[in-house]
Amino acid sequence: MNQETLIEGHKAIAPPESVPVLDIDPYSDDNLTNRTYFSALHEAGPFAFIPKYSVLASGRYDVVKEVFSDHERFVSSRGVGLSDFAVEEPWRPQSIILEVDPPYHSKTRKVILRGLSPKVVRALKDDFKLDAERLIGEILTKGDFEAVVDIAEAFPSKVFPEAVGIKDPDPRMLIDFGAIQFNAIGPDNALRAKGFAGMKPVMEWILSRCSRDALTPDGIGSVFYEAADNGEITHDEATMLVRAVLAAGIDTTVTGIGNALWCLATHPEEYEKLKADPEKMALPAFEETLRFTSPVQAFYRTAAIDTEVAGVKIVEGTKILCCLGAANMDPDHWDQPNRYDISRQTAGHLALGVGVHVCVGQNIARAEGQAVLRAIAERVERIELTGKETWRPNNAIHALDKLPLRFIAKE
């Protein structure tokens, strides 16, 4: 095969010796929603070659961890989706945190971490608790409700923009922005095209909210502008960091919270454990949801050099689909991976990534998930599914579209 042939914006490769060819499409609606290809990835061994996209894919825990942990051999600066920025222009200015490598990454990461430090998150926790209690109190007056809209979207799209300092948040714009970004990671399919078709007003709205004068002076965004005043980054970089947290900080937690409600509604015995000790079990329940459902299904890395992983030779320019969802279900790593068990040891799950790019918003995500699950467990006796859940296909996110629920209040 001509090595310079481009497929989905990256160099086509020949399948490495000894790697099985899997003639599947990880981006079919069935695979995105039912994740049926995970077992094929596990059986394939360390890697499978997917001819439709000319990529290597891995669903093995050890391999995904090794690739994510080695930012020198496997870079993010060439894009964390199918497109290789070394051969194709990024569809929008490259993220200065997610899509860059050290040493530049270390500079922006230091600033973003300051904005999301444990101290900042501790200060937000009381507000999250009150907001969650208020929301669940309102839901209890409603009877049947649609949990994706009424809880999973409602909570993060209120508390997170407030924490960032967005003055007049528009939940729809914020949620759509995340969906567009995550669909862009995939191939040039209908999901990606639909996102791009509706992108203009969303991008304009987002960019108009990221400037200093559009932000409150006490939010996370203001920390980035203070770093610019100190000369650590430029003011344009501060704007880009606000954009980055808005891109990564809403759809992900919406999905995590929605998936947690689905897990608890469909595993009443696990909900009993949570209800028995809401204070102690809310966080483990959220964490096991992250492992079990992996809200962010997969990200790519690009091989910066010819190298080898698990005995497989990988040529420079190879795009590697690191399937976090499959790695979190790898039977070689997890005992009974298909069992949702909020008492299990979830340490080391890969739902928040690993290595230098490990999720910078993880403390805030956990604080949000914990607040909502605790508020539910304190007031709700039983969670009932009142109809069939449906999943919403997205090229990177494993999210629910509809989750009809009823809460039966405690006496």
- Give the amino acid at 408: I
Q: Work out how close the CB of 249 gets to ligand HEM at its nearest, in angstroms, rounded to a whole number.
A: 3
Contact segment (CB under 6 A) with ligand HEM among 147-155, 170-178, 333-341, 352-360 equals 352-360
Report 28-57 residues binding ligand HEM (CB under 6 A): none
- Counted residue by residue, the chain has a size of 411
Neighbour-count burial of 49, counting CB atoms closer than 10 A to its CB (0-12 exposed, 13-18 middle, 19+ buried): buried
- Residue labelled with tokens 């690191």: 322
Residue 12's nearest CA partner among 68, 54, 64 is 54
- Give the amino acid at 244: A
Output 68 or 128, the one with its CB closest to ligand HEM: 68
Whether residue 262 contacts residue 403, with contact meaning beta carbons closer than 8 Å, is answered with yes
Q: How many other C-beta atoms are found inside a 10 Å radius of the C-beta of residue 28?
A: 15
- Told to check if 242 binds ligand HEM by CB under 6 A, we report no
- Told to check if 222 binds ligand HEM by CB under 6 A, we report no
- Told to check if 98 binds ligand HEM by CB under 6 A, we report yes
Output 135 or 248, the one with its CB closest to ligand HEM: 248
Output 15 or 355, the one with its CB closest to ligand HEM: 355
Among 352, 376, 396, 403, indicate the residue that binds ligand HEM (CB under 6 A): 352
- Give the amino acid at 167: K
Cis peptide before 103 (omega within 30 of 0): yes
Output 54 or 297, the one with its CB closest to ligand HEM: 297
Output 18 or 106, the one with its CB closest to ligand HEM: 106
Among 97, 215, 285, 312, indicate the residue that binds ligand HEM (CB under 6 A): 97
Q: DSSP state, 16?
A: P
Q: For 323-341, give the secondary structure using H, E and C.
A: EHHHHCCCCCCCCCCCCCC
- Told to check if 76 binds ligand HEM by CB under 6 A, we report yes
Q: How many other C-beta atoms are found inside a 10 Å radius of the C-beta of residue 18?
A: 11
Q: Work out how close the CB of 83 gets to ligand HEM at its nearest, in angstroms, rounded to a whole number.
A: 14
- Told to check if 360 binds ligand HEM by CB under 6 A, we report yes
- Told to check if 351 binds ligand HEM by CB under 6 A, we report yes
Output 94 or 386, the one with its CB closest to ligand HEM: 94
Among 353, 377, 380, 394, indicate the residue that binds ligand HEM (CB under 6 A): 353
Contact segment (CB under 6 A) with ligand HEM among 43-51, 225-233, 243-251, 403-411 equals 243-251
CA distance 80 to 356: 14
Whether residue 152 contacts residue 394, with contact meaning beta carbons closer than 8 Å, is answered with no
**Sign of the alpha-carbon dihedral angle for 143, 149, 153, 158:** negative
Closest residue to ligand HEM in the complex (CB): 361
- Could you tell me how far CA 300 lies from the centroid of its own chain? 13
Output 93 or 137, the one with its CB closest to ligand HEM: 93
Report the b/e string of 374-395 with b at 16+ CB within 10 A: bbbbebbeebeeeeebebbbbb
How many residues bind ligand HEM (CB under 6 A)? The answer is 28
Q: At what angle do helices 251-266 and 268-276 cross, to 10 degrees?
A: 100
Output 18 or 330, the one with its CB closest to ligand HEM: 330
- Told to check if 181 binds ligand HEM by CB under 6 A, we report no
List helix spans (H) across 70-186.
104-115, 118-140, 147, 156-164, 171-183
- Told to check if 261 binds ligand HEM by CB under 6 A, we report no
Contact segment (CB under 6 A) with ligand HEM among 57-65, 127-135, 275-283, 288-296 equals 288-296
Contact segment (CB under 6 A) with ligand HEM among 34-42, 50-58, 266-274, 351-359 equals 351-359
Residue 405's nearest CA partner among 157, 154, 156, 143 is 143
Contact segment (CB under 6 A) with ligand HEM among 48-56, 58-66, 196-204, 251-259 equals 251-259
Pairing of strands 319-323, 55-58: parallel
Residues that bind ligand HEM (CB under 6 A): 68, 76, 80, 97-98, 109, 116, 244-245, 248-249, 252-253, 256, 290, 295-296, 299, 324, 351-353, 357, 359-361, 364-365
